[in-house]
Structure 1
């Protein structure tokens, strides 16, 4: 015989069962709605270019033996730095470009109390054996870590460098607050593989400090090689131009302290380095000496790509890119200071040098381009400079021309050796690369005192059209490729593209170059 159910208890069980059922149905409805909307927003356009991570983009950089970048096989723009510095969602945002142009240096200065001195002994050599640093009347550390590219410190006073420890120490004359900075002495702060230098201002003279084994009577500049050096454009943009700015005011009377030293690199650019410093560079990583100086600059400051902002030059010296190219002409004894003036010599033909790349981003119709330039009134030659060619040999060749023509790439760096007032024609590959092209070459060329002309390749002039077809997003929607990330931009527009110049479309650019020389 079954038990009797009480009315109150039955009503409660019935309500609970229906409440549970309602809750379950509501949950299923919400889940179904979420799935429908999430699927709608997850749908991507057909043939969309997929996005890779920054780690994958890092792997795009091809390193040659010894850690240097192979100039022919690697993508010749500063990929590592851009992947880190610029968001993968948009290459060269106009807002970031404007921020970099308008940025002004902000420095942190830490003074050290005045130190009384007595009887400093002068020397005739730039260095001498010593057990302690020469007394200094001043002491301070000025560090800048807010620039668009680089971190630097200027250290004045009783400064001691310990190469094996990668440290720079300022010993104060009396009690002071202790400070410490970490500086990557390469011009691009996001560059991987570059060891940091520790810059320390001690709290008092009694605090432990490395004892000097050599004291120098000249200042020092401490910088690192490696990174993207080995690529011709980066050699100048990342090292030689900033090194010129940091050291030119000393007239060769300074010491270079080089971390991650590359002997082959110093050999290749020996003429430039020797004019900036009269003394052999110190291999800092293997230097067991404690060297003492009155002034050390730690790191090189890059103002902008392959150029100089005169107002930012140290010591009140308003150096410019025109000063740097003049310095190069003097260094390599280049004979021409100015291009051919058709106004003075109307019967002569100006000379045009076409830079022909061996690999990607090649001209595929060189004979037609040469014929068009000759018909416009130029004497034309083609060059494919080898990566191992002596710089002085390349410099003399380029200096003998009035116009330099080439697709965006390291070869256009040779504009540095043109006479002032000459013309550079940059052919910008298809793919909305104009901002990058102007930043890497357009603005620097103008700063050198040269005439800059730009020719942008149309889709019909790109071999990518034949390779991928007109409906591929690389052709149809370059903006989507830029949104996908820098690695895809580099892969297609820089790494797989050659150009076939439309001669009729290119003719007005040649006419502009000729017209400029008529007014020289």
Structure 2
């Protein structure tokens, strides 16, 4: 009996041993397959997200919606309002075959943009835009949206100054007011409030986003303006007219009821003074196209006309063999204290110098004329740097960077200028070239480690480095940069 049991164990052990050897192999093979499948799934997900984020067109799923999905989208307003991808596609015009829609894309950190399609009417008395149509006949389907159509939504203080609009679906029988004006083309609603009055913000927060949002309509769009300023239209009217073939609607003062079948409320924005072609609906428009529009709008019928009362020349008209350098001067802060020496240094290296000191009333076309015919531009960091948009690609932009302003100088003007195709140069002040060296000890962080100050926030940066600082350039050191710029002019064959 003992022998039989031992034999039985002997027969059983190899079998169990063989199973034990196979089990790890089986599990190992199973884990490898699972790992491969998981890796493929991750790659697919990442690739899909990248395509969704960078593609100027929506994914095929959105381009080819079946009828059931379209019906669901029209019926489920709550879902529409919380579907930024769908709403973005409607705003870009990638999806057009839906009847009645009210949605908002609030996914961008800088701006909210809402889209309406249906029977749309304005009500300036209540700051409301009403929409009716199929699927909006019951109160249960109504979801109102509110929006302040300005492109700096992260700045609560300035956004609180922007007029708020309510976009409200309404049953058809509640819209008794007849249309005074029935527009046959879509409309775009935006605000000219906020920081309007500062040329950088006028372009960055307004005009460029307006171009980004309206370009796909090729002029067949009505512009509806909140907080309309007549001076703004006087200044930029010739540019705005290149974006719209129709009279602008002043939302507050125009008491008529305006009706649309399609409306975009708010503006899209890509970044600082720039346009990303990959984010444009057709994927083929960039900042150079916006510049071309500026050139069309700002080139006067007589390009030789130049009003001396607003812009003065420091020298006689440029000689043909010398490139022209235009210097913007400031009057309150970041003033060039030794301007005459700077002008003479520019002349010595071979530039003809033109001085610009534009006022708010200076026609934009005059500044455009001066810069579009210049081979180089020089300015201390500030809003006037925005005028580099008038410079021809290949021209030289020299930015004088005061203490503590390295990051905004590069972000707001340096990088955008390079994207436009300019040769960008910067002259960073040494501490002894700043007027702050007269107010602070030589070892004070304000002079030797500005990051200590700027890390406290923009208000502290503004108070010290923007509002209290003037510049006195070291002419010997600065002349080296001027000579390099002069060589670049001929290297790039701007003349």
Same structural fold, with TM-score higher than 0.5 when normalized by the shorter chain? yes
CA distance in 2, matches of 1:210, 1:310: 43
Rounded Cα–Cα distance in structure 2 between residues aligned with 1:137 and 1:330: 36
2:334 corresponds to = 361
Residue pairs, 1:361-440, within 5 angstroms: 361-431=334-404, 433-440=405-412
- Measured after TM superposition, the shift of residue 375 of structure 1 is 2.4
In the alignment, structure 1 residue 112 sits paired with structure 2 residue 74: yes
Alpha-carbon distance in 1 for matches of 2:357, 2:172: 61
**Which region of structure 1 is more displaced relative to structure 2, 439-448 or 105-114?**
105-114
Name 1:165's counterpart in structure 2.
Answer: 126
Do the aligned partners of residues 142 and 517 (structure 1) sit closer, same or farther apart at CA in structure 2, a change above 3 Å counting?
farther
Number of residue-to-residue matches in the alignment: 385
Q: What's the CA shift for 1:137?
A: 6.2
Quote the offset at 1:175 in angstroms: 5.3
Q: Does 1:216 align with 2:177?
A: no
For the residue of structure 2 that corresponds to 1:308, the secondary structure is coil
Aligned to 2:151: 187
Q: Work out which of the residue numbers 306, 330, 343 in structure 1 matches 2:296.
A: 330
Higher mean displacement: 509-518 or 214-223: 509-518
Equivalent position of 1:35 in the other structure: none
2:432 & 2:109 partners in 1: Cα distance? 37
Is residue 103–residue 148 contact of structure 1 (8 Å, CA) maintained in 2? no
**1:133 equivalent in structure 2:** none
The answer to whether the 8 A contact 1:255-1:281 is kept is yes
1:192–1:227 contact (8 Å) kept in structure 2: no
Matched residue of 1:193: which SS? coil
Partner of 1:285: helix, strand, or coil? coil
Q: Could you report, residue by residue, the CA deviation over 1:253-299 in whole angstroms, capped at 9, with x for unpaired residues? A: 22111111111211221111222223222221233333221211101
Inter-partner Cα distance in structure 2 for 1:430 and 1:104: 36
**Partner secondary structure for residue 455 of structure 2:** helix
1:481 correspondence with 2:453: yes
* CA distance, structure 1, for counterparts of residue 161 and residue 423 of structure 2: 37
Shift of 1:210: 5.9
Q: Is the 8 A contact 1:138 1:156 kept in 2?
A: yes
Q: Please give the alpha-carbon distance, in whole angstroms, between the structure 1 residues aligned to 2:418 and 2:200.
A: 16
- Structure 2 counterpart of 1:227: 194
State yes or no: 1:268 paired with 2:240.
no
In structure 2, the residue matched to 1:515 is 487
Shift of 1:408: 0.5
Match of 2:470 in 1: 498
Deviation (angstroms), 1:207: 6.5
Greater CA drift, 413-422 or 139-148: 139-148
SS of 1:393 mapped into structure 2: helix
3-state SS of paired residue (1:264): helix
List gaps (5 residues or longer) in structure 2. Answer: 1-51, 63-69, 77-96, 305-318
- Structure 1 pair 319–169 and aligned structure 2 pair: CA distance change class (3 A): farther
Q: Flag the structure with higher helix content.
A: 2
Q: Which moved more, 1:242-251 or 1:405-414?
A: 242-251
**C-alpha offsets along residues 180-200 of structure 1, whole Å, 9 cap, x if unaligned?**
322111111232311211223
Change (3 A) 1:157 1:212: same
* Contact persistence 2:136–2:142 (CA under 8 A): no
What's the offset of the Cα at 1:449?
A: 2.1
Q: 1:457 Cα shift? A: 1.1
Contact 1:183 1:196 in 2 (8 A): yes
Deviation at 1:347, TM superposition (A): 8.2
Q: Secondary structure at the match of 1:275?
A: coil
1:139 aligns to 2:91 (yes or no)? no
Q: Give deviations 1:306-331, integer Å, cap 9, x for gaps.
A: 22122222x42532111111111111
**Counterpart residue number, 2:164:** 196
Match of 1:465 in 2: 437
1:350 maps to: 323
Q: Using the TM superposition, give the Cα deviation of residue 142 of structure 1 relative to its aligned residue in structure 2, in angstroms.
A: 4.2
What SS does structure 1 have at the residue aligned with 2:241? Answer: helix
Which TM-score applies when normalising by structure 2?
A: 0.72
Cα 1:145/1:275, change in 2 over 3 Å: same
Checking the alignment, whether the CA contact within 8 Å between 1:162 and 1:210 is kept in structure 2 is: no
Aligned to 1:308: 275
Distance, in Å, in 2 between the alignment partners of 1:172 and 1:403 is 56
Q: Counterparts of 2:480 and 2:262 in 1: how far apart (Å)?
A: 53
2:374 match: secondary structure: coil
Q: Call closer, same or farther: CA 1:200–1:447 in 2, change over 3 Å.
A: farther
**Post-superposition CA distance 1:411-453 (Å, at most 9, x none):** 112212112221111111111x211112211122122222211
Q: Distance in 1 between matches of 2:443 and 2:263?
A: 57
Whole-Å Cα distance in 2 between the matches of residues 200 and 308 of structure 1? 32
Q: TM-score, normalised by structure 1?
A: 0.68
Q: Distance in 2 between matches of 1:146 and 1:381?
A: 45
Residues 3-22 of structure 1: pairs in structure 2 closer than 5 A: none
